[in-house]
Amino acid sequence: MILNKIRNIMKENKIDFYLVPSKDPHGSEYLPDYYKEREFVTGFTGSQGTAVITNQDAYLWTDGRYFIQAEKEIKDFGFELKKQGQAGVLNYDEWIAENIEDGMTIGLNAEYFSHQEFKSISKKLENKNIKIIDIDLIKDLWEDRYDYLSDDAFLLDIKYSGKSAKEKIAEIREILKKKNANMTVLSSLVDIAWTLNIRGMDIKDTPVLISFMIIESDKVILFTDREKTKKIEKELLKIVELKDYREFYSYLKTYKDEKIYLDSSSINERIYRGLCENNKIIFGRNISEDLKTIKNEVEIKNLEETYVRDGAILFKFICWLKENAKNKIGEYEAAMKLDSMRAEDPLYISNSFDTISAYGKNAAMMHYHAREDNQSIIEPKGFYLVDSGGQYYSGTTDITRTIAMGELTEEEIRDYTLTLKSHIDLMDAVFLKGTYDLALDGIARYALWQERLDYKCGTGHGIGFVLSVHEGPQRISPRDPAVRMEEGMIVSNEPGVYKEDKHGIRLENIMRVVFDSETEDSIFNKFKTISFCPLEIEAIDVRLLTDRQRKVLNSYHKEVFEKLSPHLDGDILNSLKEATREV
């Protein structure tokens, strides 16, 4: 067992606690396969979680999206689950602080912890005589470790991005001056990609290039695998100096007496240590993160057109699935069908994440993934949930529909209707300009809370432009940190009901923050929904909807028909007309 081998190495190095997070050196949410160390150690395949190993105990912390999945996957690896966020459950760093004894040693790979995370752990232990050492215990154990992906990088045309790399760099430099800094270091792959309008295929379904970047007052240095940039090197060299990825940490040591702007939640601890002794460090959120979250007019136009095409594809898939409901289609087969339909779009690059194709009780696992050798048959009854999206040159999509495959129980209809009420309430929200994202979360949950129901995840997340399907800083969630909502931000709206061994229901649309009105009291914003696909009328108990909710639903369905009908014909067009009828 891997756990025993790790403990043996811990004893050799006199380490009492060893931490394995779900991270790479860039703080990526979705990891290159090469960096999936926590999965290798625990067996848990979800995207978020932290493992803590001691000489006697081994625990995995993960959030409510993965409780059911994690318990199943870790049982043969020697780990116990800690349900992060549940009442009475300490976070992993709090648990360590309570259980570690004076004089003990913690081992971790400092490349996998942001400076902010490392500082937080250290602070919790400051009253104890604890040593934290930077060490990698996994590299020699993982014999069949995955290789890095090796596809060529490409440049995103300005007709899609709306702004050149030179313009973006100039904006960043102007803001650096205002912050009294003369340079910044970027390790976030999505920020580097956005700034340079460069895209790669180094993370599955997230088109980024593994790299580090330094922006100085008079030059930009990109550290990456130069084999991947050969085809675009001529254009890149007009903007940046190119250096090998492996030179990065040693290059940091050349800086002295500089005023360096760093995002402590983004750069890893090893980067900080390489700069902090000889330079003045100025902390703040990545400048590019704030710039890229406000989509420009060209990006918005491309996104809105993309979501219409994507919605038409999804509706065609739903029609195909319902027509073939009696043919014993499996979840994996259904996912492959939808993926292939998206791939027919001429601007398609890849999926934006692995399609979640879940029938019946499997959908209660929020991030369930069917496999060819382990899938359920989609029967002509109950619910089938499909959460999917695409990466197109013209934008990134994400949408979820829960589909009625046939006869539904009263409980299924009630839970679908309550989820719909929650979804509509947020879709219909009007809020003061400058409202924090956190404040909007309760609007979505209100209808469910009235029935004493809740979902153990956030309500919404930001989305990148031909980048990560999950992108901040904005989100709609009950958890800090809170960020002010601004016009041009994109965010998802995806409440749900998840009942173990019964069903899972999620409805997701994507929305843009727009201007609503200015009154004597204030300026107001609202949401404009930009994803279009019918909601399931057959699953709605209309009696549970308020008049306002019914009006919003009918208005949305009218727009769905107007947007999608030019892309459909024949029987599918007739089906769209029926699916968007007034209730």
CA nearest 307: which of 419, 388, 240, 251?
388
Q: Which residues pair with 108 in a beta bridge?
A: 134
CA distance 535 to 544: 16
Q: For every residue of 295-361, which 3-state class applies, written as one string?
A: CCHHHHHHHHHHHHHHHHHHHHHHHHHHHCCCCCCEHHHHHHHHHHHHHCCCCEEEECCCCEEEEHH
CA nearest 384: which of 370, 368, 403, 401?
403
Please report, to the nearest 10 degrees, the dihedral formed by the alpha carbons of residues 30, 34, 35, 36 taken in order.
70
DSSP one-letter string for 357-405: EEEGGGGGSTT---BTTB--B--SBSEEEEEE-EEETTEE--EEEEEE-
Provide the pairing of β-strand 17-20 with 105-108: parallel
∠ Cα 78 83 86 (to 5°): 160
Whether the ω angle into residue 473 lies within 30 degrees of 0, i.e. cis, is: yes
Structure tokens at 475: 């989100």
**Which helix (H) or strand (E) segment is 506 a member of?**
strand 503-506
Name, in order, each residue with C-beta under 8 angstroms of 139's C-beta and a sequence gap of 6 or more.
none
Structure tokens at 187: 């390790």
Structure tokens at 31: 């990891």
Number of other residues whose CB lies within 10 A of the CB of residue 291:
17
∠ Cα 249 253 254 (to 5°): 120
Q: Is 524:517 a contact under the CB 8 Å cutoff?
A: yes
The one-character DSSP state at 564 is: H
Name, in order, each residue with C-beta under 8 angstroms of 303's C-beta and a sequence gap of 6 or more.
295, 394, 395, 465, 490, 530
CA nearest 490: which of 466, 470, 510, 473?
510
DSSP one-letter string for 470-485: S--S-EE-SSSPP-B-
CA distance 121 to 34: 26
Per-residue pLDDT of the chain (583 residues; tens, 9 = 90+): 889 999 999 999 999 999 999 999 999 988 888 999 999 999 999 888 999 999 999 999 998 878 888 898 998 899 999 998 888 889 999 999 999 999 999 999 999 999 999 999 999 998 888 999 999 999 889 988 888 777 899 999 999 999 999 999 999 999 999 999 999 999 999 999 999 999 999 999 999 999 999 999 999 999 999 999 999 999 999 999 999 999 999 999 999 999 999 999 999 999 999 999 999 999 999 999 999 999 999 999 999 999 999 999 999 999 999 999 889 999 999 999 999 999 999 999 999 999 999 999 999 988 888 999 899 999 999 999 999 999 999 999 999 999 999 999 999 999 999 999 999 999 999 999 999 999 999 999 999 999 999 998 889 999 999 999 999 899 999 987 899 999 999 999 999 999 999 999 999 999 999 999 999 999 999 999 999 999 999 999 999 999 999 999 999 999 999 999 999 999 999 999 999 999 9
**Which helix (H) or strand (E) segment is 562 a member of?**
helix 547-564
Q: Is 431:525 a contact under the CB 8 Å cutoff?
A: yes
The model carries a pTM of 0.91
Q: What is the pLDDT of residue 481?
A: 83
CA distance 447 to 459: 13
CA distance 366 to 66: 7
